[in-house]
């Protein structure tokens, strides 16, 4: 009877663990915390405890490379079918599971075939996409349609016909020399943030702007970014090749830097170190 199941009333986050180390764990926890506060949810566990529980899930799973989920659910109201969300006891669900690879790390030349979604992304006026949520029916129906057309995944437009995001990933397009990514109507992905930081470090111009369907169709490179999938080269759009259809030069440069950062102590923490209380909180 949890409202997370009955009403998609939950927020969540997914964190990547590579070789036993969390990538940008505190950025993910900060996003989760912001989302849960905006949904007026409060769990019994403190934030240092959430961090420690996630690390314990990873340790118990014995998976060196995996993804950890933290779901904050509205929970169950005390009296069965009570309709007042304020009366539900909010709950934390945590788990560590194998990585649902989209492209395996050793498959460096692979790129994805994408189709534009048959559904438009849910309007941000109704559901705030910056709170990571389970309102995925638009994604799921578009994904089924993409599979019917032989594509690997889908990118959804908003109600004005501009680019938003895909099921579980943000989108970047190379327009001339400038990397552009939608400035609104999307989750502020941690991988998206990382790519913007990499662009700054490599002196690649990168802007958050309105990205039209034409921008996407004319782009010389298109990249999807996600925690689970990493840097995802997109090789075709609605059956038309992007560039030569293979991962582009800039995509490869960004992917190499991203892989480097994923192993850097600056951005990672060992699961074994994250278990237990943390004084800075
Ligand atoms: C709708 C949506 N957009 C974008 C992303 C990518 O965000 P991140 O890079 O934080 O994984 C996700 C991740 O699951 C997502 O669900």
Task: Quick: pLDDT tens for 191-215.
Answer: 999 999 999 999 999 999 999 999 9
Compute the average pLDDT of residues 226-237.
98
Q: How far is the CA of 98 from the centre of ligand 1 (A)?
A: 17
Compute the average pLDDT of residues 259-276.
94
Reported as a pLDDT band with limits 50, 70 and 90, residue 80 is low
Q: How far is the CA of 169 from the centre of ligand 1 (A)?
A: 5
Cα distance between residue 154 and residue 26, in whole Å: 29
Residue 170 CA: nearest ligand 1 atom is 4
Which parts of the chain fold into alpha helices (H)? 3-7, 25-38, 47-61, 137-148, 190-201, 213-218, 249-262, 271-274
Compute the average pLDDT of residues 164-178.
98
Percent of the chain topping pLDDT 90: 92
Compute the average pLDDT of residues 114-140.
98
Q: Which mutation among 187, 193, 197, 231 tests ligand 1's pocket best, with the greatest number of atoms within 8 A of CB? A: 187
What is the overall mean pLDDT for the chain?
Answer: 96
Beta bridge partners of 232: 224
Compute the average pLDDT of residues 218-245.
98
Distances, alpha carbon 152 to alpha carbons 32, 96, 213, in Å = 28, 25, 19
Q: How far is the CA of 81 from the centre of ligand 1 (A)?
A: 32
How many alpha carbons lie under 13 Å from residue 161 in its C-beta half-sphere? 5
Q: Which mutation among 70, 99, 189, 191 tests ligand 1's pocket best, with the greatest number of atoms within 8 A of CB? A: 189
Q: Residue holding tokens 């395996």?
A: 104
Residue 216: CB partners within 8 Å, gap ≥ 6? Answer: 155, 163, 171, 173, 222, 237
pLDDT surpassing 60 at residue 54: yes
Q: Which mutation among 8, 128, 169, 192 tests ligand 1's pocket best, with the greatest number of atoms within 8 A of CB? A: 169
Ligand 1 pocket, CB under 6 A: 14, 165, 168-170, 187, 189-192, 225-227
Q: Tokens representing 75?
A: 């929970």
Q: Helix crossing, 190-201 with 249-262: angle to 10°?
A: 110
Residue 222: CB partners within 8 Å, gap ≥ 6? Answer: 114, 171, 172, 173, 174, 216, 233, 234, 237, 242
Q: Residue holding tokens 């034409």?
A: 214
pLDDT surpassing 60 at residue 278: no
Percent of the chain topping pLDDT 70: 98
Q: Helix crossing, 190-201 with 25-38: angle to 10°?
A: 130
Which parts of 12-69 fold into alpha helices (H)? 25-38, 47-61
pLDDT surpassing 90 at residue 9: yes
* pLDDT the model gives residue 280: 46
Q: Tokens representing 153?
A: 């995944």
């Amino acid at each position: 009877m949890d409202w997370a199941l009955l009403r998609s009333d939950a927020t969540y986050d997914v964190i990547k663990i590579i070789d036993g180390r969390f990538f940008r764990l505190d950025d993910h926890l900060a996003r989760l915390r912001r989302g849960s506060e905006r949904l007026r949810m409060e769990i019994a566990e403190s934030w240092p405890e959430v961090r420690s529980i996630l690390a314990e899930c990873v340790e118990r799973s014995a998976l060196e490379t995996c993804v950890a989920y933290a779901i904050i659910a509205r929970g169950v109201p005390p009296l069965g079918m009570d309709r007042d969300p304020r009366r539900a006891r909010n709950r934390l669900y945590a788990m560590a599971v194998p990585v649902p690879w989209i492209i395996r790390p050793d498959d460096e030349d692979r790129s994805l075939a994408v189709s534009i979604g048959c559904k438009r992304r849910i309007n941000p006026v109704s559901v705030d996409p910056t709170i990571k949520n389970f309102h995925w029916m638009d994604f799921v129906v578009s994904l089924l349609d993409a599979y019917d057309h032989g594509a690997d995944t889908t990118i959804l437009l908003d109600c004005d016909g501009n680019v938003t995001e895909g099921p579980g990933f943000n989108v970047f397009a190379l327009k001339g020399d400038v990397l552009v990514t939608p400035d609104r109507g999307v989750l502020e992905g941690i991988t998206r943030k990382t790519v913007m930081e990499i662009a700054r470090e490599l002196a690649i111009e990168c802007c958050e702007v309105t990205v039209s369907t034409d921008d996407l169709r004319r782009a010389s490179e298109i990249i999807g970014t996600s925690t689970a999938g990493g840097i995802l080269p997109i090789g075709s759009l609605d059956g038309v090749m992007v560039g030569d259809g293979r991962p582009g030069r800039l995509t490869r440069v960004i992917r190499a830097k991203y892989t480097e950062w994923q192993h850097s102590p600056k951005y990672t923490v060992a699961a074994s170190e994250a278990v237990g209380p943390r004084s800075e909180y």
